[in-house]
Amino acid sequence: MLSAVPLIQAGALVLVWILFTLWCFRKVLTRARASAQQSSATLLVAYASEGGAAESIAQRLTESLYQQGREAQLLTLNQVTSARLIKAKTLLVVTSTYGAGEAPDNGRFFLPELTSNSPELSNLSYSILGLGDTEYEHFCGFALALNTALEKCGATTLAPLVEVDKLHPVAIDLWLDQLIEHGLLTRRPVLDSQTQRIHSARLIGRRHLNPGSPGAPIFEVNFAPHDAFEWRAGDIAQLHLDGQMREYSIASTKSEGVLKFLVREQTSATGELGLGSGWLCKHAELQSESQFSVRSNPSFHCPDHRPDHSSDDCPDAAQKLILIGNGSGLAGLRAHLKERESNKQHDNWLIYGERSPHTDRHWDETLSDWLEVGHLTHLDRSFSRAGDTDLSSVIGNAYPGYVQNVVDYQAERLVQWLSEGAIIMVCGSRDGMASDLDQRLQTLLGAEAVAQLSADGRYRRDVY
């Protein structure tokens, strides 16, 4: 007679395997269930955030709505399609404005999509909180453009647009009080304090990287932070000087113990050095103290290296990473490369542009070493002033022209990497490099595909 013991043991092993599999995928299953529930929500909270403040307010608002029994879906404005708006009943938008009345990157595809489709939105009520700064000509310009576009589609104003100057809490509370009056909230959300913590750092090194360059001087500047300076790759350091503030991409990781910058001298029409660049590149004395705060820059975070951390807006850390930049934009790209080096993530491709192959090869030794050991899978550099120069001495691939030309040369590889799930991260000049690159990508991939990459968090920019 056959014993039932082996069958019982086999069944137990299968059960253990099933339970173990479910346990391993518990976060995925939980997110999938939550996503399915949220996708049916008729209340949408959308944000377009350049510096993180709009995103933070939108997140806290969504949490408060949930705690008060309301089902709401939090999205970037790029993720809010016309089809999604037609199904929704209420849209709450928190948005900043960039440059001359422009949208932040995670909201820049919304208006073109809305305008081209012109959906009938008489079913939709909306309200907008616009964050801005009255020192700029186009104060809350993008928020105003959103308001006009939604009105043209027949949407109804739930509560009037509120424009906020420099995150003034009274104006933010006014908007929240309007939502309470209309029954969406029963009490105000507790928002993060916007008070900045200012840190002291000591200047420990300054190095001129491009003597003889046809462009302005560029310096590596290193500070030793004194206290609990916290940042991650992609964040921005704010230099506090003479009652003003200047922002710089951080080129180092927290684990390096050094606050590193790549700063190009800026001069006025009269030849005077800029306040921030003059201080960092010339005037600050070695061992002197400077004051900084850190601005979290979530739109330029990612990939996240923590294996137990997952986020719907941040792709898997194991993905390939395409880093594209020019000039001092190499600072933000270096921080990501350094972070990925620490976490043994080596599928990295750097496309970087400068002026002269003779004088403008910043951090050349580091980049060459990374290419040699395989931390950089590919290194492509372009030089706008190369002329007929022999580029064979440049490690990696070198081309005359600009980074957008490199994308043309390497189009097949770019498409292949993207098909394998790669993320594109761009850092450098907004006008010229970033705008031309964006057009190249739209030509190569199609406008809808580029918009989808952005909505998926796979096309991220820190441009200025």
What's CA 300's distance to the chain center, in Å?
2
pLDDT the model gives residue 13: 54
Residues in contact with 36: Cβ distance below 8 Å, sequence separation at least 6, in sequence order: none
Mean pLDDT to the nearest integer, 309-338: 79
Q: How confident is the model at residue 353 (pLDDT cuts 50, 70, 90)?
A: very high
Q: Which CATH number describes the domain made up of 199-296?
A: 2.40.30.10
The ranges of the chain annotated as CATH 2.40.30.10 are 199-296
Q: Give the count of beta carbons closer than 10 Å to the beta carbon of residue 242.
A: 8
Question: DSSP assignment, residue 195?
Answer: P
**Tokens 């997110």 belong to residue:** 31
- Sheet of 289-295: strands edge to edge? 244-249, 236-241, 289-295, 199-208, 218-225, 259-264
pLDDT the model gives residue 228: 78
pLDDT the model gives residue 304: 55
Mean pLDDT of the chain: 88
pLDDT the model gives residue 6: 55
> What tens digit of pLDDT does each residue of 167-183 get?
899 999 999 999 999 99
What's the fold here for domain 34-181? Rossmann fold (3.40.50)
- Rounded alpha-carbon distances, angstroms, from residue 127 to 15, 52, 192, 266, 455: 51, 20, 21, 40, 22
Task: Determine which of 80-89, 150-159, 307-316 has the lowest per-residue pLDDT on average.
Answer: 307-316
- pTM for this predicted structure: 0.81
What's CA 418's distance to the chain center, in Å?
18
Rounded Cα gap, residues 447 and 166, in angstroms: 33
pLDDT the model gives residue 278: 98
Rounded Cα gap, residues 456 and 96, in angstroms: 20
Peptide bond into 400 cis (omega under 30): no
Q: Is the pLDDT of residue 95 over 50?
A: yes
State the first-to-last Cα distance of the chain, in angstroms, to the nearest integer. 80
Q: Is the pLDDT of residue 37 over 50?
A: no
**CATH classification of 304-463, choosing from 3.40.50.80, 3.40.50.2300, 1.20.1630.10, 3.40.50.720?**
3.40.50.80
The ranges of the chain annotated as CATH 3.40.50.360 are 34-181
Q: How confident is the model at residue 3 (pLDDT cuts 50, 70, 90)?
A: low
The ranges of the chain annotated as CATH 3.40.50.80 are 304-463
Rounded Cα gap, residues 94 and 174, in angstroms: 14
pLDDT the model gives residue 205: 98
Rounded Cα gap, residues 138 and 392, in angstroms: 47
Task: Determine which of 122-131, 247-256, 307-316, 378-387 has the lowest per-residue pLDDT on average.
Answer: 307-316
b/e per residue, 78-87, with b = 16+ CB within 10 A?
A: bbbbbebbee
Q: What is the largest CA-CA distance in the chain?
A: 101
- Rounded alpha-carbon distances, angstroms, from residue 82 to 117, 145, 225: 7, 16, 47
- Looking at per-residue pLDDT, the higher value among 50 and 440 belongs to 440
pLDDT above 70 covers a percentage of the chain that reads: 87
Q: Are 160 and 146 spatial neighbours (Cβ–Cβ below 8 Å)?
A: no
> What tens digit of pLDDT does each residue of 96-117 get?
998 788 999 899 999 999 999 9
Question: Can you list the positions of beta strands (E) in 319-375?
Answer: 321-326, 348-354
Rounded Cα gap, residues 426 and 326, in angstroms: 9
Q: Are 292 and 198 spatial neighbours (Cβ–Cβ below 8 Å)?
A: yes
Rounded Cα gap, residues 256 and 225, in angstroms: 11
